A = this chain, B = another copy of it.
Amino acid sequence: MVNTEKFIESAIKEIRGKAEGKKVVMALSGGVDSSVCAELAKRAIGENLVSIYVDTGLMRKGETERIKSLFSDINLDVVDAGDEFIDALRGVSDPEVKRKIIGEKFIRIFEREAKKTGAAYLLQGTIYPDVIESEGGIKSHHNVGGLPYDIAFEGLIEPLIDLYKDEVRDVAGALELPLEIQHRMPFPGPGLAVRCVGEITEEKIEIVREANAIAEEELVEKFKPWQCLAAVIGLGTGVKGDVRLHGWIVSVRAVYSRDAMTADPVEVPWETLHRMATRITSEIPGVSRVVYDITPKPPATIEYE
């Protein structure tokens, strides 16, 4: 591991040097990577940093409110684009196509907003594993930070490109970012879309949002997983009262990992699994079945799409 203090010092210098006194824009997702970038840039260039947060409508429960309050001290532009995303995704079920649509939609919206700022540089929280996985063709466009650059900027600033995730967390600690951000689990760029297997509908997004909230409540504090999530993966039969019904199947996944390249399922105790199954099926209408993912990565990815 690099020395965090030295890293911070040189990153600030790098950002200041590259920005050349011009405006810098970044996409803030609220994840630890983009948050660290924002804090470094705030220290490096102050008011010359403009952060754009695109609310894709695919965010977790309460996410947008949380981000507004956490980043109240920087130039933050919150864009409400939920309807645009849902419209663009209607009828699409291929995971790669979904990712591409979300990635492109995100870029267009970000570009539109970024132009208004007159920024010359784009700041990104790309980290080392993103580079590796992208080279290996393992994912096409996982991180919203991963913007392709037909966008007219003079240049790109990527201060975290040599770091692993746990190193980014150490830097977040040294920057004294709120604990909530330091320990925030990775959340994919396409958001809850990759947790709705197949076609995305408002109903599935709503189910998956509630299911993720329950899974996080039950698992995050107690087991401190690298990542935990819930996905809607299909329909199966159920029975409520005496009536047979066709209900959604929710899969819960919690993993330990060092760098997201490999991962192992958390051995959640049965008491917790039972309570989670009961909560998810009783609190969320339309869900009749809950399963727990027991696959390591590889061969399964951490996310479902």
Contacts and interface: CB of A to CB of B under 8 A. Distances in A.
A170 to B, nearest CB: 27
A303 B289 CA distance: 11
A54 interface: no
B290 A239 contact: no
Interface in A216-252: 231, 233-240, 242-244, 246-247, 249, 251
Given A274-B294, A288-B299, A304 B244 contact: no
Q: Most chain-B CB neighbours within 10 Å: which of A231, A239, A247, A251?
A: A239
Interface stretch (A35-43, A132-140, A153-161): A132-140
A73 B304 CA distance: 51
A293 B289 contact: yes
A281 B298 CA distance: 10
Nearest to A267: B270
Nearest to A271: B267
Interface string A123-137: 000000000000011
Given A243-B137, A289-B299, A301-B244, A236 B197 contact: yes
Copies in the assembly, this chain: 2
Of residues A95, A136, A237, A290, which shows the largest number of chain B Cβ atoms within 10 Å of its Cβ?
A: A237
A95 B139 CA distance: 34
Interface string A159-186: 0000000000000000000000000000
A297 B242 CA distance: 11
A240 B291 contact: no
A292 B295 contact: no
A28 to B, nearest CB: 27
A137 B240 CA distance: 12
A234 B233 contact: yes
B294 A234 contact: no
A20 to B, nearest CB: 39
A289 B295 contact: yes
A79 interface: no
A289 to B, nearest CB: 4
Interface in A183-231: 197-198, 231
A197 B292 contact: no
B291 A277 contact: no
Contacts of A198: 234
Given A238-B299, A281-B300, 10 more contacts: A95-B246, A136-B243, A197-B234, A197-B236, A234-B234, A237-B303, A237-B305, A240-B299, A277-B296, A292-B292
14 contacts: A95-B246, A137-B243, A197-B234, A237-B300, A237-B303, A237-B304, A238-B298, A238-B300, A239-B301, A247-B300, A276-B294, A277-B295, A289-B299, A290-B295
Interface of A: 95, 136-139, 197-198, 231, 233-240, 242-244, 246-247, 249, 251, 265, 267, 270, 273-274, 276-277, 281-282, 288-301, 303-305
